[in-house]
Amino acid sequence: MKIKEIIKNNKKWVESKLELDKDYFTNLAKGQSPSILYIGCSDSRVTAEEMMGVGPGEAFVHRNIANLVPNTDLSAMSVITYALEHLKVNDIIICGHYGCGGVKAAMQSADLGILNPWLRNIRDVYRLHSDELMAIENEEERYKRLIELNVVEQCINVIKTSSIQKANRERKIKVHGWVFDLSSGQIIDLEINFDKILANIMEIYHLD
Ligand code: CO
């Protein structure tokens, strides 16, 4: 896609929005009050808003390679804190996807420079679940399972933050672990048990 095309597309998009509602952008500029925080992969095929059918203003979105939530990542931590404490979102979605290049890279032994410490987070997920993963003989199946387990672990990383523990005392917060299946377009809900995970980790990760 050429950049010139994109600018043209934008003009068409503005016109189409104004045709339906002449105050569309005036209203959009007034502010945002999304009820969900979506954390997903940067993969160009996993279009957060489009696949969820949500419009501008409805989802607060954070994307990075392999949808990771490392506790030392200032960007991810700021997004979570802002979404919970200021935007007051009630639902947090971590969405991975089958065919994730980041997860694939972490399964191989290659020196990828600055990507090494980032992908280390996925290798840690592998180590944590090595018994289960090593027992899967089919490599494609093992790859898929690591993608799912990575989502679960990132959900746990969200639950470990003080922002969510604090917010959950004021109102009911839900964390959803999803995997997007590129080959069918479907979202698969891993149905993580937020309350059970919270109860299990609180002994160690209770923050206040
Ligand atoms: Co990916």
Catalytic position from the list 43, 62, 95, 155 = 43
Annotation says 45 is catalytic: yes
Q: Helix-strand-coil percent breakdown of the chain, rounded to 5?
A: 50, 15, 35
> Would you state the pLDDT for residue 198?
85
Helix (H) or strand (E) holding 94: strand 91-97
Annotation says 127 is catalytic: no
What tokens does 74 get?
A: 């200032």
CB within 8 A of 26, min separation 6: which ones?
Answer: none
DSSP 3-state of 42: coil
DSSP 3-state of 110: coil
pLDDT digits (tens, 9 = 90+) for 163-178: 999 999 999 999 999 9
Nearest to 142 by CA among 104, 87, 174, 116: 104
Q: Which protein residues have a CB closer than 5 Å to ligand 1 (ion)?
A: 41, 43, 100, 102
Distance 65 CA to ligand 1 centre (A): 6
Cα separation of 98 and 181, whole Å? Answer: 6
The structure's pTM equals 0.94
| Regions of the chain with pLDDT less than 70 | 208
Distance 42 CA to ligand 1 centre (A): 6
* ∠ CA 147-153-157, rounded to 5°: 140
Task: Tell me the CATH number for domain 32-205.
Answer: 3.40.1050.10
> Would you state the pLDDT for residue 192?
93
Rounded to a whole number of angstroms, the distance between the first and last alpha carbons of the chain is 50
Are the C-beta atoms of residues 151 and 96 closer than 8 Å to each other? yes
Instruction: Write out the residue limits of the CATH 3.40.1050.10 domain(s) in the chain.
Output: 32-205
Annotation says 43 is catalytic: yes
Distance 205 CA to ligand 1 centre (A): 28
Distance 35 CA to ligand 1 centre (A): 24
> Would you state the pLDDT for residue 208?
63
Are the C-beta atoms of residues 163 and 156 closer than 8 Å to each other? no
